[in-house]
Amino acid sequence: MSLRFDSGLPEGLAGSAHRGMSRTYHSLFVDVVTKAMVPMIQVFAFYVIFHGHYSPGGGFQGGVMLAASIMLLRLAMGQEESFRRFPPDWGMLLAAGGTLLFAVLGVLPMVFGGNFLDYEYIPFLGAEAATRRYWGILLAEVFIGFLVWGALVAIYDALSGGGE
Amino acid sequence: MIWQLDFWLMVVLVIFAIAALEVRDLLAAVGILTGYSFLMALLFAELGAPDVALTEAALGAGLTGVFLLVALFFFDRTSED
C-alpha cells in the first residue's frame, strides 16, 4: 500500500493519452470510504426513484445517483475490481432493457384502447383507475431510472476507454 | 425566501464563475465548476424549486464534474490561453 498526496490524480494518468484509466493508486482511506458510501448512495437513489411521485426527484434523478455510485467505484477502485462488481456491458444492457420496458409500458394502453402512456387502460395493474395510474407512474419511474443508470455508465465507460 | 441569503449566494456564484474561467490549472477549474453547480443547487432549493435543485445537485455537481475529470485524464492539466 502506498499513499500519494501530490496531485490527486492517480499516478501515470495525468496527461497520458492512451493508457486510459486502468491503473489506480491504492489508498486505505479511499477504499474504506468508497465501500461505505456506495451502498448508502444506492439506497438513497432507490428512495428517490420510488418516492418520485410525491416528493422531489424521480426516475431521472435516482438513475443519475445510481450512475454516480458506479462512477465512484470506477474512479476509486480501478477497472479490474470495478468491472468485477459492475461489468461494462451491463451499462448498455440496462439502458436498452429500460428503454424497451418503458416503450412497452407506453404502448400497452394503446393495445387496450387508450392513448400513449394512458395507464388507466392497462387492466391488470389494479381494480380502480387511480390505482392503475399509480402503478403505471411507479413502473415508468423505475424503468426510466434503470435506463438513465445504464446509459450514463455506458457513456462513462466509452469516455474512459474501458468499455471495449 | 431570504433575500440576504439569495444575494450572498449570487455573489459567491459570480465569484466562482469568474474563478473557473480565470484559473490556469484545469483540475482546479473542474473543482470550482463543481462548487458552482452546488451553489446553484442551493440557490434553486432556496428559491423553492427542490426538484430542479435535486437535478442540479445530481447532474451538475456529480456527473458533469466526473465527466470533465475523465476528459482531463487525456489532456494536459494546464490551460494555454
- Interval A97-109: pLDDT, tens: 999 999 999 999 9
Q: What is the pLDDT of residue A40?
A: 96
- B54 touching A (Cβ < 8 Å): yes
Q: Do A159 and B62 touch (CB under 8 A)?
A: no
Distance separating alpha carbons of residues A18 and A110, to the nearest angstrom: 49
Q: Do A8 and B27 touch (CB under 8 A)?
A: yes
User: Is residue B40 pLDDT above 80, yes or no?
Assistant: yes
Let me know if A104 is exposed, middle or buried by CB neighbors in 10 A (0-12, 13-18, 19+). exposed
Q: What is the pLDDT of residue B72?
A: 86
Nearest chain B Cα to A48, which residue? Answer: B54
Whole-number percent of chain B with pLDDT over 90: 69
Nearest chain B Cα to A8, which residue? Answer: B27
User: Is residue A70 pLDDT above 90, yes or no?
Assistant: yes
Q: Is ipTM beyond 0.95?
A: no
Q: Check if the beta carbon of residue A146 is closer than 8 Å to that of residue A97.
A: yes
Model confidence over A15-30: pLDDT tens digits? 444 444 555 567 889 8
Nearest-Cα distance to chain B for A149, in Å, is: 12
**Which residues of chain B lie closer than 8 angstroms to A68, CB-CB?**
58, 62-63, 66
Q: Check if the beta carbon of residue B46 is closer than 8 Å to that of residue B1.
A: yes
Q: Of A15-29, A35-49, A75-89, which gets the smallest average pLDDT?
A: A15-29
User: Is residue A6 pLDDT above 60, yes or no?
Assistant: no
- B81 touching A (Cβ < 8 Å): no
Q: What is the pLDDT of residue A15?
A: 42
